[in-house]
Structure 1
Amino acid sequence: MEHDDEVRAAAAGYLGVDAAAIALTGSTTMGLGLVYHGLALRPGDHVLTTTHDFYSTHEALRLAAARAGAEVEQVALYDDPAAASADEVTGRLAAAIRPATRVVALTWVHSSTGVKLPVRAIADAVAAANAGRADADRAILVLDAVHGLGADAAQPGDLGCDVFVSGTHKWLFGPRGTGLVWAAAGAGVAVAPTIPSFTAPSFVNWFSGDDQPSPFGVGNTPGGYQAFEHRWAATEAFAFHQAIGPDRVAARTQELATRLKDGLADVGGVRLVTPRDPGLSAGLVCVEVARGDPSELVRQLRDARIVASLTPYRETYVRFGTSIVTTPDQVDAAVEAVDELTR
């Protein structure tokens, strides 16, 4: 489809990758499911993820591993998110890689704590573990990037991941119901299509009886009737960020997040969960409230026209987010409201 190609081209320009390597999806969750179920896992294969990842990663891995007879292991990369360090995170992950590890499934920015992983350092550790392995035995690094895309200017080539999965409706401000998967050449070959594509050569094979392989992008873009108007509008979201400059967007997001963290850290009865270090955080800022029901605080903040949320994990924190549509005055108002409501 011509308009699909325009979305791929816009996304490729933003990400610094080949447009043919981008599949279009309806969400991050859909992308993760397509990737993990498209991998040819074998009995005894080891899949490594973390305790900090979201349900979508954990459940997609559980279902894929159960079908293949593979093992999924979850490791903790830090005990106290506020005190996390790049060396600790990378060291714990590297120590958990085994000879049988075939997938390392990570999230760029943890929606549970706001911690941003040092993905480049982790990718280097995975590459070191892969040294000397046969292609079929290599571990691939799959990254859920939804809270990094649009908040951090790093591209997949900078990060060193093999597969990059994201929705576009969060920090990129694209339409809901839109997402993408990018795969490096070697990793893309390893991900088999799961849902029939409505594009050539897949559709042409049906007529001709041939079995011509599709490029990763079109072959792994699910067919059927999608919310095409939303998908095609994602082109404008990429163009918007490109016009401003991804580096400027990331710098502004980080500037405001730092302002918010500094302010909340001084509020009595509030513990900052997200690291102060800009290298280990992005736009998400999580806090623990010593007194009262955190869900009630979120409600009261909404009554004060300040939007916060609760982290949907076993350990619940109050979560804020800064972006280029946030102003310094709004950040300060959020801090003042939390101070007043938690006294």
Structure 2
Amino acid sequence: PVREAIEGYRRAMDRNPFLVIEQGMFEDEAHNVPLQVQREIATYLGGRAEDVCLTRSTTEGLALVYHGLPLQADEEVLCTTHDHYSHHESARLATLRAGASLRKIALFEEAATATTSSIIERLLKGIGPRTRVVGLTWVHSSSGIRLPVREIAAALRARAGAPVLLVVDGVHGLGAADETIATMGCDYFCAGTHKWMFGPRGTGLVWADAGNWARLRPTIPNFSEPESYEAWTQERVPSGPNNANRMSPGGFHAFEHQWATAAAFRMHRQMGRDRVAARIRSLNDQLKAGLAQNRKVKLHTPSSGDLSAGLVAFEVEGVAPADVVRRLLEKRIIASTSPYAVTYARLAPSLINTPEEVERAVRAVGEVSA
């Protein structure tokens, strides 16, 4: 359905690019395609369409949030040592511009043995008097651990001291875990939609409620909010609080991809978020159990499905991660290395896989380790 939606919009734009884009972007709500996309996403996330900002990637979403925060020179952003380059750099560049500070802490020594209570304890101990923002990654692409974001958010709300905002990179959890994002407790949820959602390439979102959108300052001119354009024509500042549409980057995008995002969320909703998550969990449990039987394999992903999702990170004794990936590819098994200073081999059973394919991957790793 996603491919068909992309092709449908592409054919329409090729036939008449002006009318299709003019009507789809700038006419009444009944014909506004981005609004229809926001509504479909909101239904899946559990929020409202006006809470959804359309972006092109997780990276873009994180940058919009961090650079939009009104950070002061005496304030601090607290991230973890486990976050992705895009998260760290978004926070670093934003704090550099504001004169604020960035600090990183470790939430665990070994992801495979981490617990919900130990993760929360470390995070709370790491928060200082100047901390105003906490940046976390829901599912770590380094180790495959899935942070208990709902429990973390509750602990942050319950703690004494100045309140902190919770920014979450959620790309490897969206579409892989059965969670209602709008009630998870994070203040800003950033994710691309081309991974586990199987959405079009170059698409993403940021979710926040109205109060948290109002805190931010836009970075890029938008094409989504009529008030911004009307204020420009009248040479005045846009009225009203900041909002998701005001934060959505304007410009001429690959609209056939952005507009087809609705098809991905509709597809997942029709399959059932709980059924999708259960399928992914079953395949990953099978993979972890199979790899755990190999004495030459060290798993870095927690065995519990409550602290993992769709990524399984591992090492093979005596074989470099890049060589593991290369040798698996020779056996027609697609794996990857994690893009971090300390890297592991990774497998990611998803909706497109079968138990038989997972078993074949386990056997292939066994052959690599022999």
The TM-score range, normalised by the shorter chain, is over 0.9
One-letter amino acid of the structure 1 residue matched with residue 68 of structure 2: G
Partner of 1:81: 111
Q: 1:63 aligns with which of 87, 90, 93?
A: 93
- For each residue in 1:29-72, what CA deviation from the matched residue of structure 2 results, as whole angstroms up to 9, or x when unmatched? 00000000000000010111100000001011111111111111
Q: 5 Å matches for 1:6-21? A: 6-21=36-51
1:132 Cα deviation after fit: 6.7
Partner of 2:228: 202
Partner of 1:242: 269
Partner of 1:97: 127
Q: 5 Å matches for 1:1-343? A: 1=25, 2-129=32-159, 133=162, 138-199=163-224, 200-211=226-237, 212-213=239-240, 216-343=243-370
Q: Give me the whole-angstrom Cα distance separating, in 2, the residues matched to 1:162 and 1:6.
A: 23
- For each residue in 1:119-139, what CA deviation from the matched residue of structure 2 results, as whole angstroms up to 9, or x when unmatched? 11110121123x574xxxx31
Kindly indicate whether the alpha-carbon contact (under 8 Å) linking 1:103 and 1:141 is maintained by their aligned counterparts in 2. Answer: yes
1:210 Cα deviation after fit: 3.0
Q: Which moved more, 1:107-116 or 1:177-186?
A: 177-186
1:287 Cα deviation after fit: 0.2
Kindly indicate whether the alpha-carbon contact (under 8 Å) linking 2:129 and 2:161 is maintained by their aligned counterparts in 1. Answer: no
Aligned length: 338
Q: Give me the whole-angstrom Cα distance separating, in 1, the residues matched to 2:217 and 2:171.
A: 22
Q: Secondary structure at the match of 2:252?
A: coil
Q: Give me the whole-angstrom Cα distance separating, in 1, the residues matched to 2:167 and 2:216.
A: 11
Q: Which moved more, 1:303-312 or 1:93-102?
A: 93-102
1:215 Cα deviation after fit: 5.4
- For each residue in 1:204-234, what CA deviation from the matched residue of structure 2 results, as whole angstroms up to 9, or x when unmatched? 1110123223652210110110111111111
1:186 Cα deviation after fit: 2.1
- Structure 1 gaps of 5+ residues are none
Q: After TM superposition, where is structure 1 displaced by more than 6 Å over at least 4 residues in a row? A: none
Kindly indicate whether the alpha-carbon contact (under 8 Å) linking 2:46 and 2:183 is maintained by their aligned counterparts in 1. Answer: no
Kindly indicate whether the alpha-carbon contact (under 8 Å) linking 1:183 and 1:216 is maintained by their aligned counterparts in 2. Answer: no
TM-score by length of structure 2 reads: 0.89
Kindly indicate whether the alpha-carbon contact (under 8 Å) linking 2:215 and 2:242 is maintained by their aligned counterparts in 1. Answer: no
Q: Secondary structure at the match of 2:33?
A: helix
- For each residue in 1:53-101, what CA deviation from the matched residue of structure 2 results, as whole angstroms up to 9, or x when unmatched? 0000101111111111111110000001110100110110011112321
Kindly indicate whether the alpha-carbon contact (under 8 Å) linking 2:73 and 2:99 is maintained by their aligned counterparts in 1. Answer: yes
Partner of 2:7: none
- Structure 2 gaps of 5+ residues are 1-24, 26-31
Kindly indicate whether the alpha-carbon contact (under 8 Å) linking 2:57 and 2:191 is maintained by their aligned counterparts in 1. Answer: yes
Q: Give me the whole-angstrom Cα distance separating, in 2, the residues matched to 1:217 and 1:43.
A: 26
Q: Give me the whole-angstrom Cα distance separating, in 2, the residues matched to 1:97 and 1:65.
A: 17
Kindly indicate whether the alpha-carbon contact (under 8 Å) linking 1:108 and 1:148 is maintained by their aligned counterparts in 2. Answer: yes
Considering only CA atoms, is the larger Rg found in Structure 1 or Structure 2? 2
Q: Give me the whole-angstrom Cα distance separating, in 1, the residues matched to 2:240 and 2:161.
A: 29
